[in-house]
Chains A and B, each alone.
Chain A
């Protein structure tokens, strides 16, 4: 039967290895700095349209990614920059897509919300709230059809959980025991509507209970807690036991998109999360406690800043797509 539990970290009480922590620190920092720069480029008018930043939620994708292999698939909605970087996609290609240049992952034809990498098994980047959920379920269906032990990490937000197609997917995934993990990133607000005002009933982790899908609520500001919960879900999926729901409790520091002033919450609420629960500071403190020096970490900060600066340069110097791209990629030529 479905059960909801709070993930507890470090059952064995041992601290995580330093090398592992360093990787998480680096990966999360890359997302943070990348997003800050994207926000800056947006302000400069170099990025247009919608741009949804992931700042504050970094531990979710970095923790989930730590539990899977490159053969596993990832799909999410439009707040997708962090997922792409966590999948190992090139920051240059992601940033250049944001600026609508030919060097972007979609040659500038997709934009912030629609980016993909076949090579990295990243399946988008979907702009319609909830639409990625049946697709992610279909990816898991293909894994099972092909007899492969691969999982589909299907991310959705606390807003998407109220879409009907999410439950259509839960039903089929449970019915056919598909190797899919539904990762609900609960950042408390569906655009401006809080979970309290939009979701009836119990915790979102329970939303699969009628289908017999076990759910778990996870501290999404703690990368190690996310990783451990992910490992349990991945093990279930790969053992043929079917889908799992992880409700990962997280927080976005910025507005829903660049054009959102976020007046639906107080400044104090945001400041409290930033100062007390920041996922990067948490790992930073662990590293310092395990003997890493401020200088060691500064060196990493510098490396990351260089990678991000390079991606921003690339995104501004890569040319716009030529007009000849207008009519390509509409159909695959047989």
Chain B
């Protein structure tokens, strides 16, 4: 029986890649562990090793092919008599959760990105947008520098800093040891001196090692010094769950940092917002927590391609106008909220979807105005429910829109458990478009 070799997933979030090179030819005998091909993703070039043995019978996807989806058959091994019913050749790929299956690109039905901008746009991934934001700001201000683990020679663990070392040199793009508390504190000291550090956490999960420096040193010192000691630093990196990395690598820190006076907390969804908000963050004289999302890095959006694209911190965006219910979300959850709005539209419910974009300071004006219009509210976040962003939003609405609510507001959140590893349990833990749509129907008394 022939064995299909499938396009493997080489990282938790890889959905597709390019076959860069075949290292075996048709007719070659393949032994377990042989390198079959090189695959390029937007993050790295990796080798694909054979799991099964046999003669390479057919190459189904020629080298140079881009955008090959994970789990696509790329070659076939001839089943010699002894090539028995082997397990799936790419166990990694087989275990891929549905959550990161190839998804439609940017939402189309949504309102245009930035009303005030009417110029030309270009498609760009969130990854490229973040890189361009840093590069533009580093060109603009010699005090801006980037430090973190693998940001320089490796070009970024998630390739966000690709090309920056080449352009700006190792004086300004600095590989650190694995020493989060140390380099976070070092950046705070450099910021006290008037430099403008960008600190990349490989993920925000590791910022917990540094949280004392972020809160006690970066956020509080301006106040404790009577206004003398500003700390213009940006702490950025992917936040929240990626896929199948379990409890210690899947935490959402939105409400943790949003809790603290002295910080600004930003969590963009689109590439345009990622770029415009990161540029604002780098120019801001205060410490900024800039929460990215690994799953979004490869997503493309239209981004303004002319002028200095700046998005102000502290302004939410109505991503889709609607009448019956207000749904707020941020970061990756915006994608689900917009998908839910589509599902709701099919059932005759018109949802207004607000992308919060900034979590502190919160744009309460936009949220309250929307709820006063729709009279119903659903908050979506990936993090835990207890003392979460949704709890805060609902408190604000109790204070400022109590008489306008026609139904008790509902929170859609990650479940109140450490993130499980098993694919089915992980999927249950995270919000989904279906859960959001269900919540919206509940507040519309339509379930």
A interface residue numbers (CB < 8 A to B): 73, 75, 104-110, 114-118, 123-128, 131, 133-143, 145-146, 152, 164-165, 168-169, 171-172, 175, 328-332, 334
Query: Can you show 24 pairs from A to B with CB atoms below 8 A apart?
Result: A73-B193, A75-B189, A115-B225, A117-B228, A118-B229, A131-B212, A134-B184, A134-B186, A134-B213, A135-B186, A135-B188, A135-B213, A135-B217, A142-B189, A143-B193, A145-B195, A164-B181, A165-B181, A169-B182, A171-B182, A329-B227, A331-B286, A332-B227, A332-B232
Chain B stretch 118-155: residues in CB contact (< 8 A) with chain A: 145
In angstroms, Cα B226 to Cα A330, docked, is 9
Given contact pairs A139-B193, A142-B189, A145-B145, A128 touches B216 in the complex (Cβ within 8 A): yes
B366, CB-defined interface residue at 8 Å: no
Whether the Cβ atoms of B213 and A330 lie closer than 8 Å is no
B interface residue numbers (CB < 8 A to A): 145, 171, 176-177, 179, 181-195, 212-213, 216-217, 221-230, 232, 261-262, 264, 283-286
Whether the Cβ atoms of B229 and A124 lie closer than 8 Å is yes
In angstroms, Cα B189 to Cα A142, docked, is 8
- Which residue of chain B lies nearest to A105 when distances are taken between CB atoms in the complex? B226
Whether the Cβ atoms of A116 and B187 lie closer than 8 Å is no
B182, B190, B221, B262: residue with the most chain A Cβ atoms closer than 10 Å: B182
In angstroms, Cα B224 to Cα A109, docked, is 5
Given contact pairs A114-B225, A330-B222, A332-B286, A134 touches B185 in the complex (Cβ within 8 A): yes
In angstroms, Cα B225 to Cα A117, docked, is 8
Whether the Cβ atoms of B188 and A138 lie closer than 8 Å is yes
B252 vs chain A, min Cβ distance (A): 24
Please, which residues of chain B bring their CB within 8 A of the CB of A126? 217
Please, which residues of chain B bring their CB within 8 A of the CB of A332? 222, 227, 230, 232, 285-286
B433 vs chain A, min Cβ distance (A): 36
- Which residue of chain B lies nearest to A111 when distances are taken between CB atoms in the complex? B224
User: Contact partner of A131 among B179, B195, B213, B229, CB < 8 A?
Assistant: B213
Please, which residues of chain A bring their CB within 8 A of the CB of B184? 134
Whether the Cβ atoms of B221 and A124 lie closer than 8 Å is yes
Whether the Cβ atoms of B226 and A329 lie closer than 8 Å is yes
Given contact pairs A131-B213, A172-B186, A330-B261, A142 touches B224 in the complex (Cβ within 8 A): no
Whether the Cβ atoms of A109 and B217 lie closer than 8 Å is no
- Which residue of chain A lies nearest to B261 when distances are taken between CB atoms in the complex? A330
- Which residue of chain A lies nearest to B195 when distances are taken between CB atoms in the complex? A142
Please, which residues of chain A bring their CB within 8 A of the CB of B191? 138
Whether the Cβ atoms of A114 and B224 lie closer than 8 Å is yes
Given contact pairs A109-B226, A110-B225, A142-B195, A131 touches B190 in the complex (Cβ within 8 A): no
